[in-house]
Amino acid sequence: MDLNGKLVVITGGGKGIGRAIAAAFAERGADLALLDLDEADLIHSKALCESKGVTAHTYLCNVAREEQVIAALDAVVRDAGRLDVLVNNAGITRDALLLKVKDGKVAGKMSLQQWQAVLDVNLTGVFLCGREAAERMALLGHGGLIINISSISRHGNAGQSNYSAAKAGVAAMAVVWARELARYAIRAAAIAPGFVRTDILGAMKAEVLEKILAPVPAGRLGEADEIARAALFIAENDYFNGRVLEVDGGLRL
Ligand SMILES: NC(=O)c1ccc[n+]([C@@H]2O[C@H](COP(=O)([O-])OP(=O)(O)OC[C@H]3O[C@@H](n4cnc5c(N)ncnc54)[C@H](O)[C@@H]3O)[C@@H](O)[C@H]2O)c1
């Protein structure tokens, strides 16, 4: 796909990996539609993209809420007149062990709230945005692309029952959608980043992070821009479809 003049929707486009992907697509001449919960962050991302000479529309939208997703994507098509790429990037963590027993007593469990919050945003949000974007792409008739941001944690990361389940789910959905949506000339793929330097890691204890980084052959965290370049590769290579691109510095979980 030639990105010049295309319209790219990025959920969680307010900061971190989403903002880096927005900037990378803007450099290729794509206009942006940035969805996020945080208005101030959206304003920053919009300014960054527009400094590269493209238009960036912003939409306050909780991806876990069906009515908000429908309203936001209706507004995108109304404002821009097209919808070529969706990057399903919005995500959260609520880490906890499934079960913690100390001195013969239960010291902790992952709560249903922790489980549900992550599943709502990281799995249901991806489903809702994917479904609504696919509908609009199919009806507009120009084909398109959906990229789901998965994670190395999809293989199963201790302390992340909720997150690992959701990230395995969005990788699987990319395969399903590649098969189902090819008839509308829509591709689907996923990116599985390793550990990337953004605010989301702020919730992780320093000693946990140190343990995680020790076996990374690259010997460092990834940068958001390195994930953005993976998104560009997928967008520009029309034969990349139904697969997960791993960008993790060589780490194996
Ligand atoms: N940073 C990493 O190490 C890493 C590794 C693998 C995968 N990921 C994934 O990459 C994606 C981006 O993460 P990041 O590191 O940039 O995190 P981040 O916290 O820096 O940014 C996440 C963005 O998503 C937005 N968001 C959260 N919930 C939302 C909701 N319900 N609706 C709309 N927007 C919402 C936030 O406001 C924020 O702007 C996530 O899906 C994350 O799981 C991150």
Biggest distance spanned by C-alpha atoms of the chain: 62
**Pair type for strands 56-60 and 85-88:** unpaired
Determine how many CB atoms are found less than 10 A away from the CB of residue 53.
Answer: 9
| Nearest-CA residue for atom 30 of ligand 1 | 62
91 lines ligand 1 (CB under 6 A): yes
Q: Which atom of ligand 1 is nearest to the CA of 19?
A: 16
Which pLDDT does position 203 carry in this prediction?
Answer: 72
CA distance 107 to 94: 17
Ligand 1 within 6 A of 249 CB?
no
183 class by beta-carbon count within 10 Å (0-12 exposed, 13-18 middle, 19+ buried): exposed
Centre of ligand 1 from the C-alpha of residue 187, in Å:
22
Q: How far is the CA of 247 from the centre of ligand 1 (A)?
A: 16
User: What are 50-63's pLDDT values in tens digits?
Assistant: 999 999 999 999 99
149 lines ligand 1 (CB under 6 A): yes
For residue 64, give the ligand 1 atom closest to its CA: 31
Question: Cα 240 to chain center, whole Å?
Answer: 17
> For the whole model, what pTM was predicted?
0.98
Q: 91-108, pLDDT tens digit by residue?
A: 999 999 999 999 999 999
**CB 222 near ligand 1, within 6 Å:** no
C-alpha R_g of the chain: 18
pLDDT of residue 251: 95
State the pLDDT at residue 205. 81
Active site residues: 163
- C-alpha of residue 7 to centroid of ligand 1, in Å: 21
**Distance from residue 91's CA to the centre of ligand 1 (Å):** 4
Q: Which CATH architecture has domain 7-247?
A: 3-Layer(aba) Sandwich (3.40)
Ligand 1: which residue has its CA nearest to atom 7?
A: 151
Residue-wise pLDDT for 183-242, tens only, equals 999 999 999 999 999 998 877 788 888 888 999 999 999 999 999 999 999 999 999 999
Query: Does pLDDT of 75 surpass 80?
Result: yes
Sign for the CA dihedral angle at 213, 215, 220, 226 comes to: negative
**Ligand 1 proximity of 63 Cβ (cutoff 6 Å):** yes
Neighbours of 67 (CB within 10 A): 9
Which of 198, 221, 248 has the most ligand 1 atoms within 8 A of CB, as the residue to mutate?
198
